[in-house]
């Protein structure tokens, strides 16, 4: 009886892999596939990044450079104050800056930078951005909830069209200091969170709240920060709801997510022993031992902003901060941040003991109702670490980024930079879904201080890492948008291929100029489930899936044949929509460390020389 296609693929892989392993051929690890500076002659840094499909990454941050690159049609093409926010789109396959705009006013102050701190993408392709506005003439638009500053520093929320033109922009704030930290888009509206010191008082304008909100009164007794959470309509015309959240002292949010029901999850830090918690959660009692020491918090707010679903502290007796929050595909909140030494960890965690130095990074996953820790781990060496950004793969594997000052920070053998290059380097680490092991971990840095502040994952599971650097000799790639250091502090963007799947590029367009795409899910661990999936191919055509164990890059039919030689070929017809998922129930036993290279070629009479090709795709057996 003939074997089904997937079983034929497995049988061929097993035989070829055994022969390949005997040959002693080497493997190819993950690494740095794109790297560029980003900025001008003065201080620049990237604070937020999101993927926008087809190798495009949207970046946002702050610049003080008069020569910061902008593009025609942008909302603002020149620096107006000491510093301005910026938003730009970069194609990491070519290094091209697709569009770039500034957002700012004429305020000359430099104690607080005018900056974009958070990004979200609308299904239409529009970009939502939030941040900090220090200028009274910050560019707002008519018809928004707050077109004029109430004084002091304001949060802002804006919507940009592709190309960088401004759809709308509003301020959010009172007469003191208000800063946006995180942003998310849901079908119901645009949710933004941040911190505020704007309270009622003689001659003062409080931060705007709405009737029926969970908390309409400013809580801090010492004029430190309260959290604010607000939702605006996507057209910028209305403030749907807005609430305070906090206790008697300092409360600051950094992470935000909206779940499938529209409920809002927040993570941050608090020094308030009376920060609001709810019964039945992991930890309803503040843990800080000394005055002013912070606990992390995770809070779930109802979609209408009128009540808490649940709220918990998360920390130990030393100071703890949560800097990022994401949801797993099943909706479990996962947070990352830092601890000064006594953070709760779970059995079987990657790192159960504090590594030393001032701080370690932490990564924790909670149950959907906040009642227990699913898992919790430390991550660090004998120096200082902080986790600043977090992302989640469809497989449930978290990817965390930040900075380290440890010469013994845990890295994996396939890291493109395994050793600390300066006093402080950026790191990116991919953990197993249960946080029991490292899938990949490596550094990014030069001889001076470098930090990762933003992280996004592309369609292939590669990490788009960004932040700030003072290193004039930070390694860049040949296709960098900006290969050289611009001045006193630059932003940077780097793309890291994370195992097991790496996009090797070299696709060839088919009919209509569409590039077929090949992606992988799951791991190549023996017995694991997952799939290869073809999309954007010619419907009802023959798909030749070539599989090899080396990257050959041979010219073929006007394109590039990547897996060469390719001892395994499987021929299958594409579906009427030009796709074909190829799922496996259990990956066969392949040698550890083996590299498997895939590429699909599709029979397509409308393409040059009668064929289109997918990108090459590399898988590494852990």
| SS3 labels along 2-15 | CCCHHHHHHHHHHH
Residues 477, 170: Cα–Cα separation, whole Å: 38
pLDDT(4) > 50: no
Smallest CA-to-CA distance from 158 within 134, 131, 188, 185 is with 131
- What per-residue confidence (pLDDT) applies to 7? 52
Residues 281, 220: Cα–Cα separation, whole Å: 24
- What per-residue confidence (pLDDT) applies to 24? 37
**Per mean pLDDT, which range of 201-215, 323-337, 585-599 is the poorest?**
585-599
378-393 mean pLDDT: 96
Residues 385, 504: Cα–Cα separation, whole Å: 32
Residues 120, 130: Cα–Cα separation, whole Å: 9
SS (H, E, C) 14-72: HHHHHHHHHHCCCCCCCCEEEEEEECCCCCEEEEEEEECCCCEEEEEEEECCCCCCCCC
CA-to-CA dists, residue 566 to 300, 322, 530, 562, 569, angstroms: 51, 47, 22, 9, 7
- What per-residue confidence (pLDDT) applies to 478? 83
pLDDT winner (highest mean) among 96-100, 391-395, 618-622 = 96-100
Which tens digit of pLDDT belongs to each residue from 365-377? 999 999 999 999 9
Sheet holding 96-103, edge to edge: 44-51, 56-63, 84-91, 96-103
**Per mean pLDDT, which range of 136-145, 158-167, 294-303, 589-598 is the poorest?**
589-598
Q: Do 361 and 378 touch, CB atoms closer than 8 A?
A: yes
Which tens digit of pLDDT belongs to each residue from 143-154? 999 999 988 899
Handedness of CA 357, 387, 242, 196 (dihedral sign): positive
Q: Do 376 and 363 touch, CB atoms closer than 8 A?
A: yes
- What per-residue confidence (pLDDT) applies to 94? 84
Smallest CA-to-CA distance from 230 within 272, 264, 274, 273 is with 264
Give the whole-number percent of the chain exceeding pLDDT 90.
Answer: 69
pTM: 0.82
CA 202 distance to own-chain centroid: 42
Residues 61, 47: Cα–Cα separation, whole Å: 5
Q: Which residue has the higher pLDDT, 16 or 315?
A: 315
- What per-residue confidence (pLDDT) applies to 595? 80
Query: What pairs with residue 155 in β-bridges?
Result: 132, 172
Q: Which residue has the tokens 């797993």?
A: 328
Smallest CA-to-CA distance from 229 within 265, 262, 199 is with 265
pLDDT(524) > 60: yes
- What per-residue confidence (pLDDT) applies to 219? 92
CA-to-CA dists, residue 195 to 35, 250, 322, angstroms: 33, 9, 14
pLDDT(2) > 80: no
Q: Do 257 and 265 touch, CB atoms closer than 8 A?
A: yes
pLDDT(528) > 80: no
- Which domains occur in the chain, in start order? 5-28+502-620 (2.60.40)
Longest distance between any two alpha carbons in the chain, whole Å: 86
pLDDT(527) > 80: no
pLDDT(589) > 80: no
257-265 mean pLDDT: 97
List of residues 6+ apart from 7 with CB closer than 8 A:
none
Q: Which residue has the tokens 């930078």?
A: 113
542-552 mean pLDDT: 91
- What per-residue confidence (pLDDT) applies to 203? 67
Smallest CA-to-CA distance from 458 within 111, 85, 33, 65 is with 33
At residue 110's C-alpha, the angle toward residues 105 and 112, to 5°, is 85
pLDDT(131) > 80: yes
Residues 517, 536: Cα–Cα separation, whole Å: 6
- What per-residue confidence (pLDDT) applies to 210? 97
Q: Give the chain's mean pLDDT.
A: 89
- What per-residue confidence (pLDDT) applies to 413? 78
List of residues 6+ apart from 24 with CB closer than 8 A:
none
- What per-residue confidence (pLDDT) applies to 118? 97
Give Rg (Cα) of the chain.
25
Half-sphere exposure of 41 (CA within 13 A, CB side): 3
Per-residue pLDDT band for 262 (boundaries 50, 70, 90) equals very high
Identify how many contiguous H helices and E strands the chain contains and give both numbers: 1, 39
Q: What are phi and psi of 14, to 5 degrees?
A: -60, -45
Dig out the tokens for 83 from the structure: 């510093």
pLDDT(242) > 60: yes
- What per-residue confidence (pLDDT) applies to 28? 29
- What per-residue confidence (pLDDT) applies to 561? 95
Give the whole-number percent of the chain exceeding pLDDT 70.
Answer: 91
Beta strands in 536-586 (DSSP E): 542-548, 551-556, 559-563, 568-573, 580-584
Dig out the tokens for 10 from the structure: 């497995």
Q: Do 81 and 113 touch, CB atoms closer than 8 A?
A: no
Q: Which residue has the tokens 């950026």?
A: 426
Q: Which residue has the tokens 């994401």?
A: 326
- What per-residue confidence (pLDDT) applies to 193? 98
pLDDT(14) > 70: no
Smallest CA-to-CA distance from 435 within 334, 552, 566 is with 334
- What per-residue confidence (pLDDT) applies to 307? 97
Q: Which residue has the tokens 């990490």?
A: 463
Half-sphere exposure of 447 (CA within 13 A, CB side): 3
Query: What pairs with residue 584 in β-bridges?
Result: 530
Q: Which residue has the tokens 């609308």?
A: 122
pLDDT(112) > 70: yes
Which tens digit of pLDDT belongs to each residue from 298-318? 999 999 999 999 999 999 999
126-134 mean pLDDT: 96
pLDDT(93) > 50: yes
Which tens digit of pLDDT belongs to each residue from 24-66? 333 323 468 889 999 989 999 999 999 998 788 999 999 999 9
pLDDT(9) > 90: no
Residues 100, 88: Cα–Cα separation, whole Å: 4
Task: Write out the H or E segment, with its range, that includes residue 17.
Answer: helix 5-23
pLDDT(19) > 50: no
pLDDT(294) > 80: yes
Residues 359, 380: Cα–Cα separation, whole Å: 8
For the chain, the helix, strand and coil percentages under 3-state DSSP, each to the nearest 5: 5, 45, 50
Beta strands in 68-188 (DSSP E): 84-91, 96-103, 115-121, 127-133, 154-160, 166-172, 178-186
């Amino acid at each position: 009886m003939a074997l089904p296609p997937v079983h034929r693929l497995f049988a061929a892989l097993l035989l070829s892999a055994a022969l390949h392993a005997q040959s002693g051929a080497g493997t190819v690890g993950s690494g740095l596939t794109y790297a560029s500076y980003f900025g001008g002659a003065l201080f620049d840094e990237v604070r937020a990044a999101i993927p926008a499909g087809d190798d495009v990454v949207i970046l946002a941050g702050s610049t003080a450079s008069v020569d910061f690159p902008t593009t025609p049609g942008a909302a603002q093409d020149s620096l107006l104050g000491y510093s301005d926010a910026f938003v730009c789109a970069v194609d990491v396959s070519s290094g091209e800056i697709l569009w770039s705009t500034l957002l700012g006013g004429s305020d000359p102050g430099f104690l607080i930078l005018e900056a974009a701190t958070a990004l979200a993408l609308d299904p239409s392709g529009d970009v939502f951005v939030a941040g900090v506005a220090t200028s009274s003439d910050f560019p707002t638009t008519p018809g928004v909830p707050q077109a004029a500053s109430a004084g002091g520093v304001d949060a802002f929320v804006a919507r940009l069209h592709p190309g960088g033109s401004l759809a709308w922009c509003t301020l959010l704030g009172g007469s003191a200091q208000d800063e946006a930290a995180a942003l998310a888009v849901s079908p119901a509206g645009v949710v933004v969170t941040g911190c505020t010191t704007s309270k009622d008082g003689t001659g003062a304008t409080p931060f705007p709240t709405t009737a029926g909100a969970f908390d309409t009164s400013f809580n801090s007794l010492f004029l430190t920060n309260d959290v604010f959470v607000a939702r605006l309509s996507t057209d910028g015309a209305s403030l749907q709801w807005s609430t305070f959240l906090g206790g008697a002292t300092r409360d600051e949010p950094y992470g935000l997510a909206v779940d499938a029901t529209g409920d809002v999850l927040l993570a941050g830090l608090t020094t308030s022993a009376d920060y609001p918690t709810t019964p039945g959660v992991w930890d309803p009692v503040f843990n800080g031992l000394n005055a002013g020491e912070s606990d992390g918090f995770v809070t779930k707010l109802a979609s209408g902003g009128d009540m808490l679903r649940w709220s918990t502290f998360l920390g130990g007796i030393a100071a703890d901060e949560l800097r990022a929050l994401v949801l797993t595909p099943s909706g479990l909140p996962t947070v990352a941040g830092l601890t000064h030494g006594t953070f709760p960890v779970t059995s079987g965690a990657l790192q159960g003991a504090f590594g030393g130095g001032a701080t370690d990074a932490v990564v924790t996953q909670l149950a959907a109702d906040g009642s227990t820790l699913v898992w919790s781990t430390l991550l660090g060496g004998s120096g200082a670490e902080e986790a600043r950004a977090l992302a989640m793969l469809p497989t449930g594997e978290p990817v965390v980024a930040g900075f380290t000052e440890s010469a013994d920070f845990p890295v994996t053998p396939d890291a493109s930079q395994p050793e600390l290059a300066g006093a402080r380097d950026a790191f990116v680490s991919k953990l197993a879904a249960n946080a029991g092991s490292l899938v990949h971990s490596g550094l990014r840095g030069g001889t001076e201080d470098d930090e990762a502040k933003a992280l996004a994952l592309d369609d292939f599971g590669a990490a788009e890492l960004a932040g700030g650097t003072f290193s004039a000799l930070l390694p860049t790639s040949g296709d960098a948008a900006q290969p050289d250091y611009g001045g006193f502090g630059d932003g940077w963007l780097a793309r890291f291929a994370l195992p097991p799947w790496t996009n090797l590029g070299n696709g060839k367009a088919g009919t209509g100029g569409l590039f077929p795409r090949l992606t992988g899910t799951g791991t190549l661990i023996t017995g694991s489930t997952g799939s290869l999936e073809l999309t954007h191919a010619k419907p009802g055509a023959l798909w030749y899936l070539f599989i090899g164990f080396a990257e050959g890059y041979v010219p073929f039919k006007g394109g590039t044949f990547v897996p060469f030689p390719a001892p395994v070929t499987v021929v299958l017809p594409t579906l009427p929509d030009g796709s074909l998922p190829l799922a496996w129930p259990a990956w066969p036993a392949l040698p550890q460390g083996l590299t498997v290279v895939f590429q699909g070629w599709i029979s397509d009479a409308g393409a040059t020389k009668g064929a289109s090709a997918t990108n090459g795709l590399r898988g590494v057996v852990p």
